[in-house]
């Protein structure tokens, strides 16, 4: 590859260093290339959470005192921010959860499982994270329903023709699909999947965890029925996320947690639930987390023009350079990478590659990525994943490549 790196040619003027300076944890010699697992938090997010605890800390929706009102306003303001971010029709369509896993489980066991019966089918894609696979396994278990898998094409795309034919039997009730694969790195055609599913009378849940930091979420444009994501993969706190659901579906959804502040009335022998979303938010909520999530969303919205294109270019450049190395296999489609690249090194275990890289100050993910069914379809047990954010620099690709070379020299 000659001339200036592709990353530099297409993203002139973007200042990754200015972004990086907003992250205290990155003020050290570390190349954080594990963003698909968790991004770091900018000062704006840390400040918002600190300010909540220092100035407004109280339980929400309980007290009439001043701090209680301030905390409730902050919490509901965060809900409104999330609603605008995903294109919800109203804030009441947003349920705060502990993250994507909790959101998927709420949609699956609070609503979907009541629609699944003998002879029915649920489809998941071959590239789903365990969080959007295992709950559906359990939902069909014991009710006489079947879990089906949308396969991959040789290019690493979802085979929608097989999916289309599978829907023809009109047995499908639910479809679960990731917006962006956490292993293969490309955006899936969620709109096409939703259109096919709805035409067959099925509903769709989208795992948006890997997409929200890099793509503009719009649940209406995607056409899904439920949408789940986590804050910590989009520069927000750990332990907070959200489930968006169509209002008419949330009204039919049963809560999974019971206790304080999720009820309308409690009698000796029965209780009635509050309206959505409050029926799903029992107990003391992670209010500071919600405030931090809202701050992270605002931070993402304020990113300079070209930030997301810059991240995609880093991923494409890394994939291209890795693919040039003898003995390195890059996984996923050649086009459409959003933010990450997964790869294998012949004769070297993924964990060994990651350890060598860590010794050089480069943090990557290594293992099965919580996607064991996909790994088996690829014919591997594990892989190495480098994932990017606006604070990463093109030079970190060089450090990644040098670390891979060092691992090859050490172990082969």
User: Is residue 261 helix, strand or coil?
Assistant: coil
How many CA within 13 A on the CB side of residue 310? Answer: 21
What pairing do the DSSP bridges indicate for beta strands 241-245 and 226-230? antiparallel
**Residue 136 burial class via C-beta count within 10 angstroms: exposed 0-12, middle 13-18, buried 19 and up:** buried
What Rg do the C-alpha atoms of the chain give, in angstroms?
A: 22
What's the distance, Cα to Cα, between the start and end of the chain in Å?
25
By the 8 A CB rule, do 156 and 183 touch?
no
The tokens for 166 are 């599978």
- Do residues 353 and 382 touch, judged by C-beta distance below 8 A? no
Let me know if 370 is a catalytic residue.
yes
- Order across the sheet with 226-230: list the strands: 94-97, 241-245, 226-230, 203-207, 172-178, 121-125, 146-150
Catalytic residue among 78, 370, 404, 407: 370
Specify the DSSP class assigned to residue 236.
S
CA dihedral 119, 121, 126, 130 (to 10 degrees): -90
**Residue in 102, 110, 97 with CA at minimum distance from that of residue 281:** 97
Q: How far, in Å, CA of 379 to CA of 70, rounded?
A: 54
Cβ proximity of 171 and 121 under 8 Å = yes
Return the beta strands (E) in 120-216 as ranges. Answer: 121-125, 146-150, 172-178, 203-207
Q: 304, 284 in Cβ contact below 8 A?
A: no
Please identify every residue annotated as catalytic: 370
């Amino acid at each position: 590859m000659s001339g200036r790196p592709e990353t530099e040619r297409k993203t002139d003027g973007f200042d990754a260093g200015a972004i990086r300076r907003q992250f205290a944890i990155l003020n050290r010699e570390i190349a954080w290339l594990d963003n698909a697992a968790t991004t770091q938090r900018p000062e704006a997010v840390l400040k918002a959470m600190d300010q909540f605890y220092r100035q407004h800390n109280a339980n929400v929706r309980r007290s009439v005192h001043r701090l209680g009102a301030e905390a409730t306003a902050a919490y509901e303001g965060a809900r409104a921010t999330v609603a605008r971010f995903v294109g919800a029709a109203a804030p009441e369509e947003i349920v705060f959860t502990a993250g994507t896993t909790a959101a998927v489980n709420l949609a699956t066991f609070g609503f979907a499982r009541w629609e699944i019966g003998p002879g029915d089918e649920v489809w998941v894609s071959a590239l789903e994270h365990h969080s959007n696979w295992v709950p559906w396994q359990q939902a069909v278990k014991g009710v006489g329903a079947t879990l089906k898998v949308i396969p991959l094409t040789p290019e690493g795309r979802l085979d929608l023709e097989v999916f289309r034919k599978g829907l023809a039997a009109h047995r499908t009730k639910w479809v679960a699909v990731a917006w962006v694969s956490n292993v293969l790195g490309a955006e899936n055609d969620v709109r096409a999947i939703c259109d096919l599913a709805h035409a067959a009378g099925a509903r769709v849940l989208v795992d948006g965890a890997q997409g929200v930091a890099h793509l503009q979420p719009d649940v209406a444009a995607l056409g899904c029925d439920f949408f789940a994501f986590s804050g910590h993969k989009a520069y927000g706190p750990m332990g907070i996320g959200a489930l968006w659901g169509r209002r008419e579906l949330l009204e039919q959804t049963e809560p999974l947690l019971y206790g304080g502040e999720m009820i309308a009335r409690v009698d000796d022998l029965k209780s009635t639930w509050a309206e959505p979303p409050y029926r799903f938010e029992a107990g003391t909520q992670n209010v500071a987390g919600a405030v931090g999530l809202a701050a992270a969303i605002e931070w993402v919205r304020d990113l300079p023009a070209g930030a997301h294109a810059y991240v995609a270019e880093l991923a494409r450049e890394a994939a291209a350079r890795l693919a040039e190395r003898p003995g390195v296999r890059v996984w996923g489609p050649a086009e459409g990478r959003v933010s990450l690249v997964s790869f294998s090194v012949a004769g070297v275990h993924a964990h060994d590659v990651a350890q060598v890289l860590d010794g050089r100050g480069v943090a990557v993910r290594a293992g099965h990525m919580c996607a064991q069914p996909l790994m088996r379809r690829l014919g591997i047990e594990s892989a190495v994943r480098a994932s990017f954010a606006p604070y990463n620099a093109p030079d970190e690709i060089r450090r990644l490549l040098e670390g891979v070379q060092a691992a090859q020299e050490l172990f082969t």
